[in-house]
Amino acid sequence: MSHPVSYRVVGNVGVVTIDNPPVNAFSLAVRKGLNDTISDAIADDSGIILIACAGRTFVAGADISEFGKPPEDPWLPEVLDNIENSPKPVVTAVHGTALGGGFELVLASHYRCALASAKVGLPEVHLGLLPGAGGTQRTPRLAGVEAALELMTSGRPIPAGKAQAAGLIDEVFDDDLEGNALRWCEQLLADGKGPVKVSEKAVPQVDAAVFDGARQLLAKRARGQLAPFRIVDCVEAATRLPYPQGAEFEREQFAECMASPQSAAMRHLFFAERQAAKVRDLPKDTSLRNIRSVAVIGAGTMGGGIAMSCANVGIPVKLLEVDAAALERGFGVIEGNYAKTVKKGRLSQEEAAARRGRIEGTTDYADLADADLVIEAVFEDPELKKTIFRKLDEVCKPGAILATNTSYQDVDAIAGVTNRPGDCLGLHFFSPANVMKLLEVVRGAKTDDDVLATAIRFAKTIRKVPAVARVCYGFIGNRMFNPYIREAQKLLIEGALPETVDAALYEFGMAMGPIAVSDLAGLDVGYKARMALPEEVRGDDTPFKVADALVEAGRLGQKSGAGFYTYDPETRRASPDPEVVTLIEKTSAELGVERRDIGAEEMVERCVFALVNEGLKILDEGIAQRPGDIDIVYLYGYGFAVHRGGPMFYADQVGLDHVLARVREFHERFGSDAPA
């Protein structure tokens, strides 16, 4: 392999180029190469040093694949300190993204420039870490405490222009980064500018309340996570301590975060997300079909959101409904959603109008003839879906991809009614489809390779995270969710209450407890889905006795103002309902169950291990390719706590022997599912 750091002199400028594809991560070789090259550049006749990168981006940070292994010298903080201590001025020139350690390199240099299209950021928090190469100490010195806290605790990169306004970048160029940077270097020299060390700047002082406020905000936004709070501690330290001690404090916090199970979980998810988009038996050179236009059938909850997801990235959409009234209803919701985003200031009126304008309503299948991809999102009725696929087979052009958004139905049976099952697959979005990032791509038995590959690329185009599943009832996500919800329902009958089950799982880290989720989804949805199943597949209904009684009493969940909880019509705030407690207790009595106190730990184990157990079955049957794919489904589709790493990673962390022993015990004591 050629050396990842090269050096040449242009005029008075010593140009250091980092070239370590794909994203110029700071591997050991890059750290060594940069350290040695900077020493050489300091020693030669050049007057100023310029650090830039080859390829698609500036340095994207430390090499995450080296994390968890024994650290090797030179450490990044030392390399960056050597750069800052250079007696010659050092300039960095950013294109693409300067992230994490990459941006810390920028902060350690004396002068900073970037292309206008570049972004900079400190996203370590997404890996359960904090900037560990001076970032927590240098950022507040340049941008102030509040901006530094926001940059590091959100982990969101910002455009070069915004970084310049915040004081983090000095010069922004529209094009020709190298040419402009070289000219700027010569100018700095001519102006007699020397090294300006950020570490020697004072940190602007703020009221202590700023840190308390940040911690309070994070208690909600980053519930249960360690790293964001450590970031606040480090920035607070920067206001109290001279740079060397602040940097020392940062290093200790970084080491603790790095050793934490949380960071291991989040690093696992980083790689799992990228793996999930890869299909093991799909040749790398599989050709792709063009998706220039999309048709969506059904403008209900899902269809509207799917249409928005496409329109939001510039894809024109035909939205087909049964009649004009249904279309009007659907467009009403879509327009309402755009209006809300405009009101929140997240979208301009013009952009909202442009997006809305890309969605065209129709009631005529002939209008779908040219669509490259059709996504069916009508009621969850297999016969209706088959009727629609027959129709699509008649009207759609050859090569069009036909997808169903079914939650549970047999994708192969739906594809089987067409003369082109190879063009068919499932595209299972999550509600609200314009917001939720997960897209389960359901590969039918006959789905062609190029259809699958195109669907995965389409997912990325519309900014979703794809995870591939094979066909089974409920695919990966919903199939696992069923035993999870069933276990939660059983806990109610055995002695728990909705709010205690929800509190236990919320504390564990789920975005919402299972009972509150059932209310949100609508209790009638699960009820109807179960009732539609043949009795031998449906299994024992006893655990759902309370939920079913609520449905039969018209308490369908949030949408009817009451389900397991009662909802305030204005605020939608949930309150426990004594009537439900009475119903639960009556059900226990009818079933002859003596109610008992159930601890939070048992509640969590019963529900989460039910997920894990079904996940293992799914892996065994080849429905999911890898445990990491399942974790991605649960992270992006079901609000599983990011710092737990997903159900399968969590199971590994607590130990599969422990999980197996508990699942066996629950099976024997409570009739939970048998171990996988």
Which one of residues 14, 100, 421, 557 is an interface residue with ligand 3HC (CB under 6 A)? 100
CB 431 to ligand NAI: min, Å: 3
Which one of residues 13, 53, 62, 198 is an interface residue with ligand 3HC (CB under 6 A)? 62
CB 61 to ligand 3HC: min, Å: 3
Nearest residue to 235 (alpha-carbon basis) of 204, 256, 258, 260 = 204
Task: Please choose which of ligand NAI, ligand 3HC, none residue 97 contacts, taking the beta carbon within 5 to 8 angstroms, the exact cut-off set by kind.
Answer: ligand 3HC
Q: Does 523 bind ligand NAI (CB under 6 A)?
A: no
Residue of 104, 376, 487, 605 marked catalytic: 104
The site string for ligand 3HC over 420-459 (x = CB under 6 A, - otherwise) reads ----------------------------------------
Which one of residues 38, 51, 83, 99 is an interface residue with ligand 3HC (CB under 6 A)? 99
Which one of residues 14, 33, 128, 131 is an interface residue with ligand 3HC (CB under 6 A)? 131
Nearest residue to 632 (alpha-carbon basis) of 646, 651, 613, 622 = 646
Residue 222, helix vs strand vs coil = coil
Fill in the DSSP letter of residue 611.
Answer: H
Task: Please choose which of ligand 3HC, ligand NAI, none residue 99 contacts, taking the beta carbon within 5 to 8 angstroms, the exact cut-off set by kind.
Answer: ligand 3HC
Which one of residues 123, 228, 513, 637 is an interface residue with ligand 3HC (CB under 6 A)? 123
Measured from the CB atom, the residue of 321 and 524 that comes closer to ligand NAI is: 321
Amino acid identity for residue 246 in this structure: G
Residue 419 sits at the vertex; the CA angle it makes with 416 and 425, to the nearest 5 degrees, is: 50
- Check if 376 is active-site: no
**Rounded-to-integer distance, Cα 36 and Cα 50, Å:** 15
The enclosing H or E element of 74 equals none
Measured from the CB atom, the residue of 361 and 509 that comes closer to ligand NAI is: 361
Q: Does 23 bind ligand 3HC (CB under 6 A)?
A: yes
Inter-residue contact 171 to 113 (CB < 8 Å):
yes
Inter-residue contact 169 to 163 (CB < 8 Å):
yes
Measured from the CB atom, the residue of 97 and 405 that comes closer to ligand NAI is: 405
Where are the extended beta strands (E) located within 367-431? Answer: 373-376, 401-404, 424-429
CB 439 to ligand NAI: min, Å: 10
Residue 92, helix vs strand vs coil = strand
Which one of residues 63, 273, 321, 440 is an interface residue with ligand NAI (CB under 6 A)? 321
Task: Please choose which of ligand 3HC, ligand NAI, none residue 100 contacts, taking the beta carbon within 5 to 8 angstroms, the exact cut-off set by kind.
Answer: ligand 3HC
Q: Look at the alpha carbons of 430, 433, 436, 442 in this order and tell me if their dihedral is positive or negative.
A: positive
Sequential DSSP letters for 129-193: ---TTTHHHHHHHHH-HHHHHHHHHH---EEHHHHHHTTS-SEEESS-HHHHHHHHHHHHHHTT-
Q: Does 549 bind ligand 3HC (CB under 6 A)?
A: no
Q: In what order do the strands lie in the sheet with 97-99?
A: 97-99, 119-121, 158-159
CB 653 to ligand NAI: min, Å: 30
Please choose, out of 36-44, 56-64, 213-221, 647-655, the segment that lies near ligand 3HC by the rule CB under 6 A: 56-64
Alpha helices in 532-599 (DSSP H): 535-538, 545-552, 578-590
22-42 core/surface letters (b: 16 or more CB in 10 A; e: else) = ebbbbeeebbbbbbebbeebb
The site string for ligand 3HC over 3-22 (x = CB under 6 A, - otherwise) reads -------------------x
Task: Please choose which of ligand 3HC, ligand NAI, none residue 407 contacts, taking the beta carbon within 5 to 8 angstroms, the exact cut-off set by kind.
Answer: ligand NAI
Paired residues of 439 in beta bridges:
429, 466
- Check if 104 is active-site: yes
Task: Please choose which of ligand 3HC, ligand NAI, none residue 76 contacts, taking the beta carbon within 5 to 8 angstroms, the exact cut-off set by kind.
Answer: ligand 3HC
Alpha helices in 155-312 (DSSP H): 160-165, 177-190, 209-221, 227-240, 243-259, 261-276, 301-311
Query: In the window 272-301, what residues touch ligand NAI (CB under 6 A)?
Result: 297-301
Prior bond of 74 cis (ω within 30°):
yes
What's the length of the chain?
A: 676
**Dihedral-angle region of residue 597 (phi above 0 means left; psi in -120 to 50 means alpha; beta otherwise):** beta
Measured from the CB atom, the residue of 63 and 605 that comes closer to ligand 3HC is: 63
Query: In the window 405-464, what residues touch ligand NAI (CB under 6 A)?
Result: 405-407, 429-431
Q: Does 127 bind ligand 3HC (CB under 6 A)?
A: yes
**Dihedral-angle region of residue 187 (phi above 0 means left; psi in -120 to 50 means alpha; beta otherwise):** alpha
Which one of residues 380, 585, 602, 652 is an interface residue with ligand NAI (CB under 6 A)? 380
Which one of residues 274, 340, 397, 538 is an interface residue with ligand 3HC (CB under 6 A)? 274
Please choose, out of 141-149, 197-205, 285-293, 322-330, the segment that lies near ligand NAI by the rule CB under 6 A: 322-330
Measured from the CB atom, the residue of 124 and 577 that comes closer to ligand 3HC is: 124
Measured from the CB atom, the residue of 124 and 412 that comes closer to ligand NAI is: 412
Fill in the DSSP letter of residue 64.
Answer: G
Helix orientation angle between 545-552 and 523-531, rounded to the nearest 10 degrees: 110
Residue of 66, 78, 124, 570 marked catalytic: 124
Closest residue by beta carbon to ligand NAI: 300
Measured from the CB atom, the residue of 222 and 574 that comes closer to ligand 3HC is: 222
Q: Does 499 bind ligand 3HC (CB under 6 A)?
A: no
- Which residues are part of the catalytic machinery? 104, 124
- Tell me which residues touch ligand 3HC (CB under 6 A): 22-23, 25, 57, 60-65, 76, 97, 99-101, 104, 123-124, 127, 129, 131-133, 135, 274
